[in-house]
Chain A
Amino acid sequence: MALVNEISTFLQQGRAPKVKELVAQALEEGVEPKIILEEGLLDGMNVIGEKFKNNEVFVPEVLIAARAMNAGLEILKPRLAQSGVEDKGVAVIGTIKGDLHDIGKNLVKMMMEGKGIKVIDLGVDVAPQTFVDKAIENNADLICCSALLTTTMGEMKNVVETAKAANIRDKVKIMVGGAPVTQSFCDMIGADCYTPDATSAADAALAFCTNK
């Protein structure tokens, strides 16, 4: 459908006002909210996500595309709820205790939202107990922690341990990421998933949520 394709295209260009306008127009014309979401907004984010993974676009392009997606979502959300479209999963996300840089975490959040996952952003400097409490409170499928510093990445182990102590390890997958984090670190602390970039993180998150 031409209109929905246009939404995807304008989203990829980061043109938030245009995306918002076209989403409103599509709703008025009676296009199903689910179609607007999946074939317009999420499709656009998928294209940007793949390009980002292949170094064809960079952080600013992802940020403005995600902003355009959110502009569209803002008016689409109430209609999605009315028509019974559900989130594909729930993730809580934050930077680990002591770590204050959040651009990477924000990118992952945007990419996950671009897959239709509801993301609860706990911000920066998040204590292990907070990750776990918020995961329980929101009935989350995923806990996602990021670290930019080798000084702080050790705290991720405490998130895994705290989740174990709270008996939620069978319900919640723990994903870890950030520049110094590696697969071997993920294995060592007993987390479930490491991905090297935001796009793969969103793919893995979606896989966890749909294969539950």
Chain B
Amino acid sequence: MRIALIGCMVLAREVSYALYQSKNTIQCSWLEQGLHNTPEALRQRLQEEIDRIESRQQTLPAEQKADAIVLAYGLCSNGVVGLRSRTLPLVVPRCDDCISLFLGSRRRYLDLFHSNNGIYWFTKGWVENSFIPSKENYDALYAHYVKEYGEENAAYLMEVETSFIQNYENAFFIQSPIYDDSTEAQKVRETAGQFGWDFREVAGDLGYISDLVNGIWDEERFLVCPPNKTIVADYQGKKIAEGD
């Protein structure tokens, strides 16, 4: 099977590992981490990439054409809702976000979510790709605010931007089964200490990502949206469905 995969950079190491082992031929495009913060922008970027892949298909010889477009994304703030393809099925994991993908299943994520108060999740990918809460990052942000808005306003802005710290209770670091992430884990452990959060390492599981790239797309865990149908939100537990 040939797959065109669009993935978030936060999952690049995990997806790359899975495709390196896969029997499938996989063409990857990566989008930068953080687009979920503006779901409309995420949707637009994904749709552009889908359109680009499909246009390119027309120029390829039959044996090189893809069989499906696969998104290494969850709902990601509903950024995948509204997407559609014209010629290829669109495969999307039925989960809230990448945390389920790192943990191996949506069920495992939800179990942890519901049995612990206020979890802030970390992985090596998150640490290296995004602004994560840490004393170091906040010191830099404060310096920037002082320069832009003066000391008094800077202190207030930091108060507002960091107020969530007291709402959270746990820093969970998803430990990779494939690479060394001890430096990042140590960094997060220190941050947790500074913020008064409990630190815990949780074992990562690449099963979900592996099934995504290997075409093991059961109805429960994956939506396979046919061409010319739109991905719609499903609030009844399936997360996403096909619509007109």
**What size tier do the contact residues of chain B reach?**
20 to 34
State the CA gap A148–B118 with chains docked (Å): 13
A142 interfacial by beta-carbon distance below 8 Å: no
Docked complex Cα distance between A64 and B159 (Å)? 12
Chain B CB count within 10 A is highest, among A67, A150, A151, A185, for A150
- The answer to whether B161 touches A103, judged by C-beta atoms less than 8 angstroms apart, is yes
A179 partner, pick from B77, B145, B156, beta carbons under 8 A: B77
B168 in contact with A100 (CB, 8 Å)? yes
Do B96 and A151 touch (CB < 8 A)? yes
B130 at the A/B interface (Cβ < 8 Å)? no
Cβ A154 vs Cβ B77 within 8 A: no
- B164 x A180 contact (CB < 8 A): no
| Interface assignment of A195: CB less than 8 Å from any CB of chain B | no
Do A180 and B148 contact each other (CB < 8 Å), given the known contacts A14-B153, A63-B156, A102-B164? Answer: no
At the interface, yes or no: A158 with Cβ under 8 Å from chain B?
A: no
For chain B residues 31-47, which have a beta carbon within 8 Å of chain A? 36-39
Q: Is the CB of B96 within 8 A of A182?
A: no
Report A119 CB to chain B, min CB distance, Å.
16
B156 contacts A150, C-beta separation under 8 Å? no
Question: Is B29 in the interface zone, CB < 8 Å from A?
Answer: no
CB-CB contacts of A6-17 with B at 8 A, as 1s and 0s? Answer: 000000001011
Query: Which residues of B lie under 8 Å from residue A125 when comparing CB positions?
Result: 167
Interface residues of A in 131-171 (CB under 8 A from B): 148-151, 154, 157
The answer, yes or no, to whether A184 is at the interface (CB within 8 Å) is yes
- The listed residue (A63, A98, A150) touching B77 by CB distance below 8 A is A150
B125-163 near A? 1/0 per residue, CB < 8 Å = 000000000000000000001001100110011001101
Q: Is A185 a contact partner of B77 (Cβ separation < 8 A)?
A: no
User: Once the chains bind, are A154 and B235 in contact (CB under 8 Å)?
Assistant: yes
B78 within 8 A of A: yes
- Indicate the size class of the contact surface on chain A: 20 to 34
- The CA of A16 and the CA of B172, in the complex, are separated in Å by 39
The answer to whether B97 has its CB under 8 Å from any CB of chain A is yes
Q: Are B145 and A150 in contact, CB atoms less than 8 angstroms apart?
A: no
Q: How far is the CA of A151 from the CA of B113 in the complex (A)?
A: 9
Task: Across the interface, name the chain A residue whose C-beta is closest to B161.
Answer: A103
A151 contacts across to B, CB distance below 8 A? 96, 110, 113
A124 to B110 Cα, complex, angstroms: 20
Say whether A200 faces chain B, with CB atoms less than 8 Å apart: no
- B81 interface contact, C-beta 8 A: yes
B160:A150 contact, CB within 8 angstroms: no
Chain A CB within 8 A of B233 CB: yes
- Does chain B have a CB within 8 A of A30? no
Residue of A100, A102, A182, A185 with most partner-chain B CB within 10 A: A100
Report chain B residues within 8 Å CB of A149.
96
B75 within 8 A of partner (CB): yes
By the criterion CB–CB under 8 Å, are A14 and B149 in contact?
yes
Indicate if the CB atoms of A150 and B148 lie closer than 8 Å.
Answer: no
- The 3 A-B pairs of least Cβ separation, nearest first, read A100-B167, A180-B78, A180-B77
Q: Which residues of B approach A to under 8 Å, CB–CB?
A: 36-39, 75, 77-78, 81, 96-97, 110, 113, 118, 145, 148-149, 152-153, 156-157, 160-161, 163-164, 167-168, 232-233, 235, 239
